[in-house]
């Protein structure tokens, strides 16, 4: 092989190496779309903007190393905590987590950034109507019933004005 051929081969290898480096740098890094989404939130939340950008960058680096996993399943975790409740309270706990089911209605209010999430569930319970027992029939007796004298209707009592209701004290605010 002559020196011209060797020079051409070396030049081709160099050009191929440059092309590979250029294409590798042009491809988006793993986690870039997530990083851009996290940066777009910075400044629009209650966190310091510089701290938000640092955390987004740290998460991007950890994702590039493969150290980040998928987001945790918060609902499964909450249902596992309901499993620790006494059996009588477990169904109500699950209704709060799942947002209501059957005759339960659930609401979620607040946010983590605002200080906490409040879950409430309202369960409607329909009580059966009380059984009405018929009045017992008097046993036939041989004693005559006493005579009852007619009663004169009474005149209605004069109406007195009702006293004003007592004012209720204001409840103390809950902090």
Q: What is the pLDDT of residues 58-71, one digit of tens each?
A: 888 888 888 777 77
- Highest mean pLDDT range out of 48-62, 94-108, 126-140? 48-62
Determine the pLDDT at residue 111: 79
Single residue among 16, 47, 65 that ends a domain in this structure? 65
Cα separation, 54 vs 70, in Å, equals: 20
Same domain, 50 and 79: no
pTM of the model: 0.33
Assess whether 95 and 49 both reside in one domain. Answer: no
60 falls within a domain: yes
Determine, yes or no, domain membership for 116.
Answer: yes
Q: Which of the listed residues 122, 141, 161 is the one where a domain comes to its end?
A: 122
pLDDT at residue number 84? 92
φ/ψ of residue 119, rounded to 5: -105, 130
Spatial neighbors of 106 by CB under 8 A, at least 6 apart, are 95, 96, 98, 99, 100, 119, 120, 121, 122
Which domain range does residue 40 map to? Answer: 3-65
- The torsion angles phi and psi of 110, rounded to 5 degrees, stand at 95, -175
**Segment 41-61 mean pLDDT:** 86
Q: Do both 10 and 54 map to the same domain?
A: yes
Closest CA to 75 of 94, 90, 100, 92: 94
What pLDDT was estimated at residue 130? 82
């Amino acid at each position: 092989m002559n020196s011209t051929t060797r020079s051409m081969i070396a030049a081709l290898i160099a050009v191929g190496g440059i092309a590979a480096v250029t294409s590798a740098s042009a491809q988006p890094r793993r986690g870039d779309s997530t990083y851009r989404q996290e940066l777009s939130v910075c400044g629009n939340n209650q966190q310091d903007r510089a701290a938000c950008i640092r955390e987004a960058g740290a998460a991007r680096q950890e994702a590039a190393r493969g150290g980040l996993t998928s987001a945790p399943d918060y609902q499964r975790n909450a249902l596992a905590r309901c499993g620790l409740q006494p059996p009588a309270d477990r169904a109500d706990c699950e209704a709060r987590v799942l947002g209501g089911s059957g005759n339960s209605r659930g609401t979620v209010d607040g946010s983590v950034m605002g200080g906490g999430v409040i879950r409430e569930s309202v369960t409607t319970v329909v009580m059966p109507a009380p059984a009405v027992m018929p009045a017992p029939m008097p046993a036939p007796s041989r004693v005559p019933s006493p005579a009852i004298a007619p009663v004169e209707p009474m005149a209605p009592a004069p109406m007195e004005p009702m006293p004003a209701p007592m004012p209720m004290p204001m409840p103390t605010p809950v902090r």
